[in-house]
Amino acid sequence: MRRGLIFLGVVLAATVVGVPAAMAQSFSSATAAFNGDRLIVSFTETGLAADQPIDYAAHTNVTATLVCVNRGGVAAGGKNGTGDQVGDETSLDTFTSSANGEVTGQLTLSPPPPFPPLTCPSNQSPMEARVVYTNVSITDKTNGITEPIPGTFDTGCLLPDVRGACG
């Protein structure tokens, strides 16, 4: 009888260990951090099928403030000396899940291209003074899962040596 109970215990344990628990797909982490004026979205998603290509999209609303800077390092003021470039930016890539059904990756979001371009007076050049990213999210497009990344990401003044650039 005792041998039968031990055998039954071993069989039950092997059955429990041999059947993996079903995991729900989810982002276990999603963060954003600056690299210059670009925002790097880092993420880990778990509960995926093994060795599968997964399409991802990082998305944001972004505002880049441009200023006209003269050769003396002074930002021109007034209507013709500054301009905000506002847009929605998306970064796309495909990653393959690991054997344990996990993807860890990064996508880079960039400021919008100047449109219309800031037109500076002669002897002045347009320069990026500040970039602000809002409503940042990461989406698993293959499985339709989106994770917001809370917060407003502001570079602060990118031209600290240019008088009047960030005033």
103-137: per-residue pLDDT in tens? 999 999 998 876 667 788 888 888 899 999 999 99
Q: Please give the residue that has the higher pLDDT: either 82 or 45.
A: 45
CA dihedral 137, 93, 39, 104 (to 10 degrees): 80
Q: Please say if the pLDDT value at position 5 is more than 80.
A: no
Q: What is the DSSP letter of 30?
A: E
pTM of the full predicted structure?
Answer: 0.80
- φ, ψ of residue 83 to 5 degrees: the values are -165, 140
Would the pLDDT of 91 be above 90?
yes
Query: 23 is written with which tokens?
Result: 């995991």
- On whether the CB atoms of residues 103 and 93 are closer than 8 A, the answer is no
pLDDT at 77: 67
Mean of the per-residue pLDDT values of the chain? 84
